[in-house]
A and B are shown apart, each in its own frame.
Chain A
């Protein structure tokens, strides 16, 4: 497939393109807040999902290890943040200390999940990871007794927002007459984090580790025969993927100001897997596209289904919530039918599916 615009040998064009996208992304919250601040919040959630999908893509897309309990790492990161920056324990550490701690703890949980499952593949691994995700959620739900650590199903409230010196990211400011709301400030922070995470991912994919992951995904025994330490490489995939989840979780906790185990249910894990698969496993840009689409489309449907029915039938025939998920499922099925390797497949996956057809 030819690229849409050939930028090879034309670096200026590439830089202009990047600059245009950057300006558009930076200006986006102003446009969205004209429609409503809700949409800025939705955009923030979408960026969080991009972070999650990129983290999961390391485990599923690069190393080929199907993980259905990925949201557990998001939960770990969120709870680490909540416990260290809320009135619950009276701790109020700054975010730039907590986020790395959250990433590290999540990475530790990643290794904790990875180590006993090293010999498992495919379906078996999926079931164990699914169980792991549920175990973490149930622990969070029940760790309120005998010592109250997580406050159980009540969740933790009044979590500190991000503060950089005098700048509080949760409050509304007025700069030169322009209203800058809290969600907008978070949006720019998330955007910056996302750029860093994307850069790390691109570098990882083209690195020695990236090649090792590719080999492990293809044939583990052969990878070992090439001198790849498959144990270390797989644990590294779990740990790196988990740490991105942990960072996203910490940011989620501070943006929402309140978390409870209900935010980390199985459906969330499945949603992130769907983003990775729909966008194109192993392709960073595809995964981003998948995450953005799957976070925005249901919201757009939420706002359009009811007025549409009213206009067509004059009344509500079907609950908007029901029809929203129905259309969403239909869209997923269609994409999988017509673009089985995802919207923007990775070159290797594309070959894989082409090979299956040829066989």
Chain B
């Protein structure tokens, strides 16, 4: 059975159907990406999986339906989301932000884990005593990811980690996402940057105005002429 199984998921905002009955699955250990243009419903899908917006259809995580489970229970079960726009605590220091990520845990190895995040993100170590609000966009994204890892996730949901970052930083963030996946964390990555996402993912889903229009291995999607034309900015047949 898959770690995450989404069936006939719908999200409504008032009278608008933002997500129109999509199915998707993420197997344990996979890095799956969900790509699509602005407004395709990618972020709504992620929020619905976490229960941050009301939904219909079923979402089952690790074999149990998450319907009715309060949002704050999910991190305890290993389902952790890095929200769009990072959602760091701007007035707290980098170290305090990381410690807050371990809130759902009850063990004593929190400090070791903070050390592990510093190894992975040396920049955060340099800035550990600085308040998070004074970090650059890329550093904030790293902090948001480090903080999510502090919860020791089994499934990590990343919402547009490359948003608003300089190209060099984007490449770096994707390297980090790949590293996290290599450590055995299952990842569902939502991205507008389709090429980068497909290059590191094993499988991908393409969303268009609230529906999944293509689902395949990432390599095949990268080669698909329709995807190349619509999302990778290439001419058909080029």
Contacts and interface: CB of A to CB of B under 8 A. Distances in A.
Interface centre among B73, B91, B151, by most chain A C-beta atoms within 10 angstroms, is: B91
A315 interface: no
B103 A226 contact: yes
Given A227-B74, A227-B75, A221 B91 contact: no
Interface string B93-114: 0000001110110000000000
A355 B91 contact: yes
A225 B81 CA distance: 7
A149 to B, nearest CB: 39
B133 A355 contact: yes
B141 to A, nearest CB: 14
Contacts of B87: 219, 221-222, 225
5 contacts: A218-B89, A226-B103, A227-B74, A227-B103, A348-B91
Contact of A218 (B73, B91, B99, B101): B91
Contact of B52 (A211, A221, A230, A348): A221
Contact of B91 (A212, A224, A227, A351): A351
A342 to B, nearest CB: 15
A166 B89 CA distance: 55
A215 B96 CA distance: 10
B151 A226 contact: yes
A226 B101 contact: yes
B76 interface: yes
B80 interface: yes
A139 to B, nearest CB: 34
Contact of A224 (B71, B89, B99, B147): B71
Contacts of A351: 91, 131
Given A225-B75, A227-B72, A227-B151, A215 B52 contact: no
A211 B131 contact: no
B39 interface: no
A222 B72 contact: no
Given A225-B83, A229-B70, A215 B89 contact: yes
B188 to A, nearest CB: 15
A225 B90 contact: no
B193 to A, nearest CB: 23
Contacts, number: 66
Interface of B: 50, 52, 70-76, 80-81, 83, 87-92, 99-101, 103-104, 131, 133-134, 147, 151
Given A211-B100, A218-B90, A226 B70 contact: no
A352 interface: yes
Contact of A228 (B50, B52, B103): B103
A14 B89 CA distance: 34
B83 A230 contact: no
A218 B81 CA distance: 18
Interface in A198-234: 208, 211-212, 214-215, 218-219, 221-222, 224-230
B100 A226 contact: yes
Nearest to A217: B91
A81 B99 CA distance: 43
Given A226-B103, A228-B72, A221 B83 contact: yes
A215 B83 CA distance: 15
B133 A219 contact: no
Interface in A167-213: 208, 211-212
Contacts of A355: 90-91, 131, 133-134
B21 to A, nearest CB: 26
A219 B89 contact: yes
A224 B101 CA distance: 11
B86 to A, nearest CB: 8
A227 B104 contact: yes
A215 B103 contact: yes
B36 to A, nearest CB: 23
- The winner among A208, A215, A218, A230 for most chain B CB atoms within 10 A is A218
Nearest to B70: A229
A225 B71 contact: yes
A290 to B, nearest CB: 21
Nearest to A220: B87
- Which among B72, B80, B83, B90 has the highest number of chain A CB atoms within 10 Å? B72
Most buried by A among B70, B89, B131: B89
A298 B99 CA distance: 44
A347 to B, nearest CB: 10
Identify the 3 closest CB pairs spanning chains A and B, nearest first: A227-B104, A227-B75, A222-B87
Contacts of B72: 224, 227-230
Contacts of A225: 50, 71, 75, 80-81, 83, 87
Interface in A303-359: 348, 351-352, 355, 358
A141 to B, nearest CB: 40
Nearest to A212: B103
A214 B88 CA distance: 12
B43 to A, nearest CB: 13
A225 B76 CA distance: 10
A215 B100 contact: yes
